Amino acid sequence: MAHKKAAGGGVRQHKNPTGKRLGIKKSAGQEVIPGNIILRQKGTVIKPGKGTMLSRDFTIFSVTTGKVNYKRSPFSKKNQKVVEVL
């Protein structure tokens, strides 16, 4: 019978998992074309506005050509952030 305890699954656990590359990819004033990713996020922290759409994984991308603009929505009670392409 062994007197040393074997190294188990804890040895292979990640101490520093890799990042998911979330965040803003195009800043305000930058030119975009249809299909360009503007930002990647988890959940709808920033809502899509004119000229943008929201994908299944909450990525906001451009559907028109123009410049990126970030603003706060005057129509919502929570004063939420909105990104649009004009």
Ordered by start, the domain boundaries in the chain are: 21-85
Sort strands 60-62 and 31-32 into parallel, antiparallel or unpaired: unpaired
Fold of 21-85: OB fold (Dihydrolipoamide Acetyltransferase, E2P) (2.40.50)
Token pair 């603003």 is at which residue?
A: 71
Query: What is the distance between the alpha carbons of residues 46 and 39, in angstroms, rounded to a whole number?
Result: 9
Question: Structure pTM?
Answer: 0.78
Amino acid 8: pLDDT: 62
Asked whether 69 and 86 are in contact (CB, 8 A), the reply is yes
DSSP state of 63: S
In this predicted model, what pLDDT tens digit does every residue of 2-61 receive, in sequence order? 677 666 656 666 688 889 999 999 999 999 999 999 999 999 999 999 999 999 999 999
Amino acid 6: pLDDT: 66
Amino acid 7: pLDDT: 62
Asked whether 71 and 35 are in contact (CB, 8 A), the reply is no
Amino acid 12: pLDDT: 63
